[in-house]
Amino acid sequence: MMDTLDHLLAPALEQTPAGYFVKIRAVPDLFADEVLNVGIGVIGADGRRHARVITAPGRLECLYGEAADNLVELAQLAARSFLDDEAQPSPNVLISEPRPFYNLDPETALARFFQDQVTVAIPQRQNVERHEPVNTVKMRAKVYQLLRQKGEVMQVDRLIPASPLTIVQTDKGPRTVRIPLQSTTLAAGLESADYSGISIRIHLMDALLDIDFAAQSRGFTKLGLFIGRPTRSDLPEKKLLEIDNAIDNVVGRAPRHCRVEVEQDLDILADKILDWADLEAA
């Protein structure tokens, strides 16, 4: 395991870091000075922040009994403060010095470092590993494939950019945005909701901001946000409720002229994208 971690942290000659990661740590008893890793924070090369922390007591119950729930709540507060780039809310929370990582995208790095460094979460992690989440990159690839199967190839190819990344001009200067569905008048986000509630809110808010910046800069008149809700059988009702609440928290802030669709079935989601883009099925 350490060999793998060393590879991810070791740069090739003159290689630029893919990002930086920190350990989110809790100090259960300031007098005892015991420190536990309860989460990981990642800052991508584009400055975007991602965080993952424990969501259940797990092994901590064996050490702290009912007080373990307080550590879970503390970890959640620490994650929100890290994502907002704010001072930590308690002296019982520590954030390590940022360390660079290489050869991984931020979301994969977050999962890998959480697995390696947050050992108190191992019981929960093992259950999740049996059913791999469908992240946004994988979901977009699947939806793109469905769009090409369902629509006229030439029309659909104009809707799917060679790269979702583009630079637009804003009042504060140039900004890199992600627009995974676009044409001369259309711009839409395409996001997976197979994440923690905090990550979902961050991803969806980023998507809405990117769409808004692009619309102001490029004059897009038709906007959309298409969300794939997970259907994995390992997700408990509590987790699904967390996902739905996170989606509702963000989509309620979408502009009125932005069409928002949330679907578990990506086949249906692709149909709704074609309808939004006024493209007929082949």
pLDDT digits (tens, 9 = 90+) for 99-151: 998 888 898 889 889 988 888 775 544 444 445 678 899 999 999 999 999 98
Checking if the pLDDT of 243 tops 60, the result is yes
- For residue 68, the one-letter residue type is A
Residues with Cβ within 8 Å of residue 84, at least 6 apart in sequence: none
Q: Which pairs count as long-range contacts for 63-71, CB under 8 Å and 24+ apart, including other chains?
A: 64/28, 67/28, 71/26, 71/28, 71/36, 71/38
Strand partners, 191: 227
Which residue in 274, 152, 234, 253 sits closest to 263, CA to CA? 274
The reported pLDDT for the residue numbered 129 is 44
Give mean pLDDT, residues 1-14: 51
62: confidence class by pLDDT, cuts 50, 70, 90: confident
CA atoms within 13 A on the CB side of 33: 0
Contact 158, 133 (CB under 8 A): no
3: confidence class by pLDDT, cuts 50, 70, 90: very low
282: confidence class by pLDDT, cuts 50, 70, 90: low
The reported pLDDT for the residue numbered 134 is 82
- Structural domains in the chain, sorted by start: 2-127 (no CATH), 136-276 (3.40.1350)
Which residue in 166, 40, 13 sits closest to 102, CA to CA? 13
Query: Mean pLDDT across the chain, nearest whole number?
Result: 84
Alpha carbons 56 and 123: distance in angstroms, whole number: 10
Q: Encoding tokens for residue 237?
A: 């009702």
Provide the percentage of residues in the chain whose pLDDT is more than 70: 89
More reliable by pLDDT, 55 or 214: 214
Please count the other Cβ atoms lying within 10 Å of the Cβ belonging to residue 172.
Answer: 7
Alpha carbons 193 and 229: distance in angstroms, whole number: 5
172: confidence class by pLDDT, cuts 50, 70, 90: confident
Checking if the pLDDT of 41 tops 90, the result is yes
Checking if the pLDDT of 96 tops 70, the result is yes
Which residue in 60, 193, 30 sits closest to 120, CA to CA? 60
The reported pLDDT for the residue numbered 9 is 55
Contact 219, 234 (CB under 8 A): no
Q: Encoding tokens for residue 26?
A: 């809790």
The reported pLDDT for the residue numbered 14 is 60
DSSP state of 251: H
Which residue in 109, 106, 132, 113 sits closest to 38, CA to CA? 113
Alpha carbons 156 and 174: distance in angstroms, whole number: 28
The reported pLDDT for the residue numbered 256 is 82
